[in-house]
Amino acid sequence: MSILQFLLILFAYLFGSIPWGLILVKQFAARDVRDSGSGNIGATNVRRVAGTGLGIATLAGDVAKGFLPVYLAILLEAARPAGGDLFVGTVGICAFLGHLFPLYLKGRGGGKGVATGAGVFAAISPAAVGVALLVFILFVCISSRASVGSMAGGAVLPLGIWEATGSGIYAGCAGLVAVLILFRHYGNIRRLLSGKEPRI
């Protein structure tokens, strides 16, 4: 591994750790988003707590956390003849883990990873993420719950990545992301089962 590759992996985690939801709500709404709603720092709770505008801004920031490091990794690997999937996938996973376990929040209180995961794989295969997005929208419309759409979209992502890229490494990374997204929605699953999950 080159120094540049190592620095990009480190950058991916540090950039992924930026808690945009927390920062934006504190800056523009003078509140701590963790004290309201679900307590999550992701776009859904930001929209619920501080309005649609800040929710959209948080969504954009969280997507960028995944997209930018992976896009840079793809550019770095473009000159290499082969073997770049593992490095690009590692960069993507590090950005995703930064969002889930942010350094700046001492590894706790991160988001659920949906937007950042989408950003990671949008850089690899926009088509696969587009399919996952359609599934997300479909299940949100059916259930009126963002959590259901998020889990459904995450579930189909590995298959979409495999079909689009033919890379077992990328598909495996997408599978890991899908599992972690499901794990982070544990509280939502419990509320869904008890009928207490709020509708959009």
What is the three-state SS of 44-73?
Answer: HHHHHHHCHHHHHHHHHHHHHHHHHHHHHH
Domain residue ranges in the chain: 3-194
Contacting residues for 141 by C-beta, under 8 A, at least 6 apart: none
Q: How far apart are the C-alpha atoms of 44 and 75, rounded to whole Å?
A: 32
**pLDDT score for 15:** 97
DSSP code at position 197: P
Q: Read off the amino acid at residue 142.
A: I
**pLDDT score for 79:** 61
What string of pLDDT tens digits covers the 200 residues of the chain?
Answer: 789 999 999 999 999 999 999 999 999 998 999 998 778 898 889 998 999 999 999 999 999 999 999 999 999 987 665 558 999 999 999 999 999 999 999 988 898 999 999 999 999 999 999 999 999 999 999 999 989 999 999 999 999 999 999 999 999 999 999 999 999 998 889 999 998 887 87
Q: How far apart are the C-alpha atoms of 31 and 60, rounded to whole Å?
A: 20
What distance, in Å, lies between the first and last C-alpha atoms of the chain?
45
Q: How far apart are the C-alpha atoms of 137 and 31, rounded to whole Å?
A: 29
**pLDDT score for 44:** 86
pTM check: above 0.75: yes
CA dihedral for 30, 66, 12, 102, sign (positive or negative): positive
Q: How far apart are the C-alpha atoms of 94 and 186, rounded to whole Å?
A: 22
> Do 40 and 111 meet the contact criterion of CB atoms below 8 Å apart?
yes
The kind and range of the H/E element at 122 are helix 114-124
**pLDDT score for 127:** 96
> Do 178 and 157 meet the contact criterion of CB atoms below 8 Å apart?
yes
**pLDDT score for 82:** 53
Buried b (16+ CB within 10 A) or exposed e, 181-197: bbebbeebeebbeeeeb
Contacting residues for 104 by C-beta, under 8 A, at least 6 apart: 17, 18, 19
